[in-house]
């Protein structure tokens, strides 16, 4: 029987310190062994790049090379920068994480939610993992409508008692509090306070003029089938969180998705941009010589809110996890490396931002071939393991 041919590794561009050669090896292996299409990875140590690599294709037809400045939708890796907006406001004394959400958003007190705290929004403990009534993509793109529906709905569980992943609603919940306090939607707040001053190539949504730089997302048919099998086993709350409305690569490639403000899921950026944003947390509030958060506020962002089996993602993880105030802790399972207090966020299909203040490490990994995994995609884990093996 003839042996299957080994996948061809496309040219890999960028630079990698000799000490971190294992990262380049893992990046190449992702193309050779794990079905990578196009991708980039950046690793920072104490704010300085030790690996900055890219390669492959920006479209599934393989007609456009992945370039140094290629942008891609990073799905829930967007949640880290959105949480950063709330932490900046809290650091300035403008937002109390222990105050009721209704203190800033009075309409939110409806349907028994008067006791929901801001920290419950950040830690996916508000009980609002998804809307109960069916929602279309067009309705998801309507900020005012989605926020009004969230304000009126009742929680799926007693707020504050358990975590249940708020896949899309997280961005509207945290984002509307940011808007009520600052007067700005989180995308504009992030631009004014962080990405603009630090020249970070990351936006929530994507300006139309940047569309030529955007990579096309794709998910192979076999991975779509694996996802469908997983979704078929989910409880109603998980379906509401992850599938109301149904989204995916095809939707995220459209101008309508890119034009919307979806602070939980439609951040667009490079690997360098993701590493820089998570580098604020890795740098204990500072990045590139600029202080974004006080050390106390940066530390508070990884304040664990209780280990439990997540009500939405429990079946996907297969073990208990702990969400901090906007990001996931690495924990005993090592999702973000061997330091259990390292933290970060994965995006649907594989992307990742990671911060480890003790090691001074920040990592950004972005790609356009979406895998079926809920989290801890093998490509991401191979890169994380290579980083720590190099220290």
User: Mind listing the pLDDT tens digit for each residue in 166-184?
Assistant: 999 999 999 999 999 999 9
pLDDT-derived band at 74, boundaries 50, 70, 90? very high
> SS3 of 221, please?
helix
What pLDDT, in 10s, does the model give residues 207-266?
999 999 999 999 988 877 777 777 767 889 999 999 999 999 999 999 999 999 999 999
Q: Annotated catalytic residue: which of 76, 123, 241, 351? A: 76
Q: Is 76 a catalytic residue?
A: yes
- Give the model confidence (pLDDT) of 339-352 as tens digits: 999 999 999 999 99
Q: Please, which pLDDT band fits residue 114 given cuts at 50, 70 and 90?
A: very high
Of the candidates 248, 254, 170, the one whose C-alpha atom is nearest the C-alpha of residue 206 is: 254
Long-range pairs of 18-21 with CB within 8 A, sequence gap ≥ 24: 19/50, 19/390, 20/50, 20/51, 20/386, 20/387, 20/390, 21/390
CA 178 to chain centre: 18
- CA separation for the pair 260, 124 (Å, rounded): 22
Which CATH number fits the domain 12-84+187-389, given the four candidates 3.40.710.10, 3.90.470.10, 3.30.1510.10, 3.20.20.70?
Answer: 3.40.710.10
Q: Where are the domains of the chain?
A: 12-84+187-389
CA distance 210 to 71: 8
Task: Find the mean pLDDT for residues 360-387.
Answer: 96
Tell whether the model's pLDDT for residue 3 goes beyond 60. Answer: no
285-312 tens-digit pLDDT:
999 999 999 999 999 999 999 999 999 9
pLDDT reading at 136 higher than 70: yes
Q: Please spell the DSSP secondary structure of 165-193, one letter per residue.
A: --TTHHHHHHHHHHHHHHSS-HHHHHIII
| pLDDT interval class at 145 (50, 70, 90) | very high
pLDDT of residue 373: 84
């Amino acid at each position: 029987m003839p042996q299957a041919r080994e996948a061809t590794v496309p040219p890999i561009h960028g630079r990698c310190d000799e000490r971190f050669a294992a990262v380049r090896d893992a990046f190449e292996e992702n193309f050779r062994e794990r079905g990578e299409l196009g991708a980039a990875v950046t690793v920072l140590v104490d704010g300085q790049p030790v690996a900055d690599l890219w390669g492959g294709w920006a479209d599934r037809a393989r007609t456009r090379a992945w370039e140094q400045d290629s942008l891609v939708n990073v799905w829930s890796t967007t949640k880290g920068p959105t949480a950063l907006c709330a932490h900046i406001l809290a650091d300035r004394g403008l937002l109390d994480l222990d105050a009721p959400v209704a203190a800033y958003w009075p309409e939110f007190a409806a349907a028994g939610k008067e006791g929901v705290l801001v920290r419950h929004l950040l830690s996916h403990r508000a009980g609002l993992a998804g809307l109960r009534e069916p929602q279309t993509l067009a309705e998801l793109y309507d900020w005012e409508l989605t926020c009004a529906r969230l304000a009126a709905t009742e929680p799926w569980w007693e707020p504050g008692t358990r975590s249940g992943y708020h896949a899309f609603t997280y961005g509207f919940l945290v984002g509307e509090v940011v808007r009520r306090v600052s007067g700005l939607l989180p995308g504009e707040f992030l631009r004014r306070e962080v990405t603009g001053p630090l020249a970070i190539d990351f936006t929530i949504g994507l300006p139309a003029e940047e569309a030529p730089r955007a990579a096309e997302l794709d998910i192979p048919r076999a991975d779509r089938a694996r996802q469908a099998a997983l979704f078929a086993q989910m409880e109603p709350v998980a379906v509401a969180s992850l599938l109301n409305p149904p989204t995916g690569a095809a939707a995220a490639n459209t101008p309508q998705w890119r034009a919307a403000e979806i602070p939980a899921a439609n951040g667009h950026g490079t690997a360098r941009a993701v590493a820089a944003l998570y580098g604020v947390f890795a740098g204990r509030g500072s990045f590139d010589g600029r202080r974004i958060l006080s050390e106390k506020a940066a530390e508070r962002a990884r304040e664990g809110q209780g280990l439990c089996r997540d009500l939405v993602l429990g079946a996907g993880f297969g073990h208990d996890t702990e969400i901090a105030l906007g990001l996931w802790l690495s924990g005993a399972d090592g999702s973000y490396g061997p330091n259990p207090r390292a933290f970060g966020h994965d995006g649907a299909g594989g992307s990742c931002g990671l911060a480890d203040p003790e090691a001074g490490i920040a990592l950004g990994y972005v790609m356009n071939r979406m895998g079926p995994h809920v989290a801890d995609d093998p490509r991401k884990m191979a890169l994380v393991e290579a980083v720590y093996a190099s220290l």
